[in-house]
Amino acid sequence: MTGSARLRTAEAFGASAILLIRAGLWLWVLFNVAMVLWVMLNSVKTSRSIFADPVGMPDTWMWENFATAWSTSGLGAATLNSVILVTVSVALIMGLSIPAAYAVARLGGRSSGPVATFFAIGMSIPFQAFAVPMVLISVGLSRFMIDWVTGAWDPRITVALFYVVLSLPFSVFVLIGYFRSLPSELEEASALDGATPFRTFWQIMVPLAKPGITTVAVLNVLSLWNETVIVLMLVPNQRMQTLNVALLNFYSNMQYTSNWGGLFAGVVIVVLPMIAIYLWFGRRIVNGMTQGIGK
């Protein structure tokens, strides 16, 4: 029968397509590994051989590139800045978005629908829409604090502030979805046991929502860790800048010295810890990132 013949050809076609895709995926994996190795190789080459001989092994092994990169780039201080900024911001994001999402998902009356929509709208607004006001607020806020309140101000606080509000729509949105997906029986049982609503929220519902909370936290850490523009616009002092911006500055300073091996050493210094963390926690990051979304 022609029908089954067609089916067989389709099947054979399907099978080979799948083999092809798998080969492609493995090639992609291979490329990623090769890319990491290539960057590492470049970091111990001389500037000359990076350009003249991009494929070959180093003619001299320039281990001192790392010393140069470390001492001239300020990457150490920038790492600390990044870690503190991201940790504080994500802690604040979670502290604000978990209660709000719970309130909207579980406690709200008629207003909770519009409130959820109101937050969701924020997701479609790129930060560029208020980049200009953001810069103005940053200046105004620091002048105000310096002149009237504390006498000093750190622009990193302003950055953290904007990190928090920019991450709120997405975080609240995903968490509302997650809280709504949880069964209400436990909540009811807890209430019948005499727990206050807050205790129910804090001791029953938050632990239940852990997968969703992890997802939101991981995604926020990843996106804030790689954020560049806001720091570029709001933080003038290099000593206060984050890892990405430090790398960018280091890149532009290379013009003066042409130490391209040193630049790649800088890239390795930035990237390798991320890869190490990823090798360690990779599965958990990948799982954590997705398990709470789409609920």
Partner 1 sequence: MRNSIRVAAVVSALLVLSACGTKIQGGASSDVSSDPKAKPLVYWGKWAKGTPQATLFENVIADFTKETGVKVDVQWLGKAEEEQIKNAIATGEGPDFFDTAIDHTAEFRAAGALGDMSAVFKAKIPGENATIEEVLPKSVLQAISDDKGYGFVPHSVFSVGLWYDAARYPDFATTPPKTFRDFLTVAGKEKDAGRRPIALDGTVNSYNAFWLYQLLLSTAGPGALRQLAEDPAAWDRPDVKRAVTELESFVKAGLFQPDYMATKFPDAQNAWAAGDHTFNLNGTWLGSETASIRAQAVQARIISLPPVDASKSSAVTIGALGWGVNPKSKSQQAVSDFLAFAMQKKYIDRIATDADNIPSRSDSPAPEALTSIQESIRTATAVSLDFDGVATVAPKWFNDVFLPLDDKLIGGSIGAGKFLAEGKAQTAELGE
Partner 2 sequence: MVADIGARPAARRGRVKAAGGALHGERRRLYLPLLLPALIAYLLFFVAPSIFGVVLSFAEWSGLGTEFSWVGIANYAELLSSRIFLSSFLNTVLLTLIVGVALFLIAVAAMVALRTARAGAFIRSAVFLPFMISPIAVGLAVSFLFNPKGMVNSVLGLAGLDALRQPWLGPELIFRVIMVGVVWSAAGFYVVLVMSAVDGIPPSLYEVARIEGASLIQQFRYVTLPLTRDMIAIAAALWAIAGIKTFEIIIAFVGTAGTPPLEARTLAVEQYLRVTGGRVGGMAQLGEAAAIGVVMTAITVALIVLSRRIQRRDRLEWS
- Out of partner 1, partner 2, none, what residue 216 binds, judged by CB under 5 to 8 A for its kind, is none
Stretches 63-71, 83-91, 147-155, 179-187: which one binds partner 2 (CB under 8 A)? 179-187
The answer to whether residue 2 forms part of the interface with partner 2 (CB under 8 A) is no
- Out of partner 1, partner 2, none, what residue 6 binds, judged by CB under 5 to 8 A for its kind, is none
The answer to whether residue 116 forms part of the interface with partner 2 (CB under 8 A) is yes
Residue 52 or 84: the one with the smaller Cβ distance to partner 2 is 52
The answer to whether residue 165 forms part of the interface with partner 2 (CB under 8 A) is yes
Stretches 61-69, 72-80, 83-91, 126-134: which one binds partner 2 (CB under 8 A)? 126-134
Residue 213 or 270: the one with the smaller Cβ distance to partner 2 is 270
- Within 184-213, the residues that bind partner 2 by CB under 8 A are 184, 187-188, 191-192, 196-198, 201
Q: How far apart are CA 109 and CA 113, in angstroms?
A: 8
In the complex, least distance from residue 29 CB atom to partner 2, rounded to whole angstroms: 4
The answer to whether residue 294 forms part of the interface with partner 2 (CB under 8 A) is yes
In the complex, least distance from residue 59 CB atom to partner 2, rounded to whole angstroms: 16
- Within 252-281, the residues that bind partner 2 by CB under 8 A are 252, 255, 263-264, 267, 270-271, 274-275, 278
Question: Do residues 77 and 239 lie in contact, with contact meaning Cβ atoms separated by under 8 Å?
Answer: yes
The answer to whether residue 48 forms part of the interface with partner 2 (CB under 8 A) is no
The answer to whether residue 66 forms part of the interface with partner 2 (CB under 8 A) is no
**Which of 247, 272, 277, 274 lies closest to 262, judged by CA?**
247
Number of residues that bind partner 2 (CB under 8 A): 120
